[in-house]
Structure formats: structure tokens, C-alpha cells
Chains A and B, each alone.
Chain A
């Protein structure tokens, strides 16, 4: 997957969690948590959604890598290479 595709997937998942999330105005280098007021339960949804869609297991120790949109893309890019 390309970087901008991964980006869209993440934003789509967030939009799915919160229909009011204003993803257009978001800043890619700022914590997702603060911008969308995500709690730990919402965060788990992002992880589970990625697992469901791409069979991708993200260990709990790696959760900090998902803090911002940029860091999500950096983290996921090598791991989603084989997915079309």
C-alpha cells in the first residue's frame, strides 16, 4: 500500500468510530488522541480494525507508534507492503 492509501484508511477508521470527526482539518504530526478526543477504548478499535482488514497483529508495546497520523503511516508502511 502507498503512503496516502494508508493515510486514507486510518482516517476512514477514525471517521467510522466518530461520525463527527473533522478529518479534513486534522494535523498529521499532532496526536490523534487529542485531535479527535479518542480514549483507550477507541484506540483499541483502530488496532482491531487494522487486524480485521489486513490480518495485521500490532503488539501492545507498539501502540505508541500509532500516536500521530504520520507515525501511523511510518509504522504501517513496511508492514502493509504485501497488501494490494
Chain B
């Protein structure tokens, strides 16, 4: 008899969802989490009495509770959680900002994006609607070969009409791709068409929202549910190796030396990280799966006085790319200040939008930039600290050009880098979106070891949770 029927490595959202799904049917399941709290990429920490969220700017895939087929509601049904009691706040408005002030606004009402495109790209709007139809009709969940999103979009849009300019088409496609890439593309320059379809639906057709309360409340709810179903979780329990024999795995060893046996393993710590646990014989295959996309994020608390003179301060998220040449890749510098995401996490409908910090009313702004892992890795602790300050200042100067000068009103600032991400999320090289090569069916060369989460190809909170659920459904439920 094994100690557990199922062991799940990683207590992030995909691991918790997989655990809940499995525990629902009454079998012994254990989640092993190396950190002291759950959440993985989407977790939280406290500084000076304030709870800061990591990862979560907004959840995607907004849907009204009565839309049964929507991914968000499907997720709640599968976990036997009440969608009606899950209170949400929708975004206000978001923006894609490109050179020369060209911008597109979008919200959870898709008509806004259509109107914006009609007004700003009149030669493209009809062809864009064709693309929307293609996105609606496509089934992105059937495993298939990688298809270039850029090429496929070009095919669907077709050539520009007389008087149109191919360069304008390309500029427009880059604008569309930019938020989708920043929100979940693990490869440089291009993306898989299936991934494009998933992200287009979850961001443009469904939209941004956030749950009532903080990510901590959301995680607490999941934890409580998991434990009430009899699931077990252990924190500070880093897996050091996975035991295998022939083509099957049969247990794990923790860093503490403890050994735990099991019938199946679902790993949510990424494919390269999972290979590493299997030992040197398997790891050769690793580099192909190492992601290059990572970020630095600055979190600022800004005093309320600044609000009056800021521009665009009603936005929920601004996706900006002010490089002359569009790039989505690991930058040459430690970070690329010319592109990134500016998020006002208080700007959701029905939120009050202020917090108290040291007796002052403050609001939060977060700045996220593409970052180069190697630059942050190969420095001494002192240099690392210095780099955080220097690049934080550079980011401040650049982002102030977009939203106005907020720098004098910053009362508290914190930042994290690819190194922080790697340390707390086990994402190899801080690659938040994981491997550029996705394991869509979750299978590995071991018949009872499966991959869920980012490297299985679903992204975002809703996506990663659905990944955990579907891997349990497809691979381990039938054995119950």
C-alpha cells in the first residue's frame, strides 16, 4: 500500500485545484509545497502592515454566473464551489499604448474595442471582425502542432484593401498581440495560435475582474474547501527527488530526507524543474524547455494627492510598448523600461480605491517590465540591491511620461526580479509563463507522472486551475 494515492508537487493554483478535484471523490491525496503559504505565483506577503499580492493584477475570463459554458463557471462547478457566492469586481477600462500616442481602449464590453478599432484603424475593422469569428470558431484544446499566430492572423486578415499599408496591418497586429503576450506568452517574438485564441478569448472576449477581497481570501477559501474534503497539504516540504523504476514513478523524497510513496504524481513545478527531480539521466532534455520571458515588478504606494494630476489614472491596466521596433523578448538590459504593464489594482468597479498607510490615504500602482534573468543572477548581493534601485528609478522616469509625475508622491516602494520569482515560485530562471514548449496532454515518459499548470499550456489563474482539474480528469480519476 502506498502512503497516498496521489501526490501533487506544488501548492499553487493548479495544484490546489487538482487536489480539490481529486479529494472530492474521497481518495488520499497530499500536496507538497516548499513555501510556508500556498499560492505559488499568485500569493501574497506583508510589509509594514499592508498585504501585497504577487502575480495577481487581475483575473481573466470574466463571465456572469449564469453562463454555464464559460471557463470560470465550469471551474467552479468542477470544484463544487458556489459561483454565486463568489463576488467579483469587473475592470473599469484598460489600454494598449504604442508609439506616437496610438492607443486602443478595451473593457469587458467587447463593443468598446470594436469602436476603437473602427475609429483608429478603419481599413482593418472589417477584417478584424473576420479574425474574431475565426477565434470564436477555433478549438484550441485539441492537441496539435505549433502554429505561428503571426502567420495565421495574417492569413485570416488577408491583404490590406487598396490604399492600405501592410506596415499598418503589422502595427495593428502587434497592438493586439501585446497584452496577450505580456499576460501569458512563454516564447519570444511569436506565439502559438492555440495560445493566442485562448488568451484572446480570456482577455478581449471575456475580460478582467478581480475577486472580492484579496488573493489571500481566495486562497483561504480554496484551502478550507480542500481540507474539508479530506485533502492534506504540507508546507516547507520541498521535494528533492522523484523515485522512478522503469517507466513508472513510485514516490518522492523531501529535502528533510523523508520518503513518501504514492500511486500517481502530478507535478505543477514546471517541466524543467520536474525533470531535475528525476535525476541526471533525464535532465539532458531540459534546456529546450527553459523559458526566457521574465519580469521585474515595482509596487508603489502613492499618496492620494498625486491622483488629481495623474493622467490615465482611471485605467485598470495599461499595456505599453514604446520601442520603435516591436519586441517581445528577453531584453539586452536588466529590464526594458520602454515596454511593460502599468496596473492600478484598485481600479475595479465597486472598489473604494484607497488604503491607509502610515496615516495617509494611498493608492497602489504596479509597473512590470520584461527582464533579463542572467543580469540579475550574476551579481553580488550588494550589486543586486543597487541594480534594483537604479532600474527602479529608470522605470519611474519612463512611466512618469505616460501617467504623469507620481515619483514625489511615492510613500512606499518594493520590487521583485526574476530571482525573486525563481526563489518563490520554483519557475526555472524566473520564467513566469514557463516553458516555450508546452506539454499539452500533460504526459511524461513515465506512465504515472503528469504535468499540470503553466507548462501544460493553460495560463492565468483560471487557466492554471482548469489545467489542474483536467489533468486529474484525464489521467487519474479513472483509476479511482
Contacts and interface: CB of A to CB of B under 8 A. Distances in A.
Interface of A: 17-20, 37, 39, 41-42, 44-45, 48, 51-52
Contact of B68 (A37, A45, A48, A51): A37
Contacts of A51: 25, 480
A56 B359 CA distance: 62
B127 interface: no
Contacts of B82: 19
A40 B470 CA distance: 11
Given A18-B77, A51-B480, A52-B26, A41 B68 contact: no
Given A37-B69, A44-B473, A48-B477, A17 B77 contact: yes
A48 B69 contact: no
Given A18-B77, A44-B473, 18 more contacts: A17-B77, A18-B68, A19-B84, A20-B66, A37-B69, A39-B69, A41-B77, A41-B78, A41-B470, A41-B473, A42-B77, A44-B477, A45-B77, A45-B78, A48-B25, A48-B477, A51-B480, A52-B480
Contacts, number: 31
Interface residues of B, number: 16
Interface in B453-480: 469-470, 473, 477, 480
Nearest to B84: A19
A41 B70 CA distance: 12
Contacts of A41: 74, 77-78, 469-470, 473
Contacts of B66: 20
8 contacts: A18-B68, A37-B69, A41-B74, A41-B78, A41-B473, A48-B24, A48-B477, A51-B480
A42 B82 CA distance: 15
Contacts of A19: 82, 84
A11 to B, nearest CB: 17
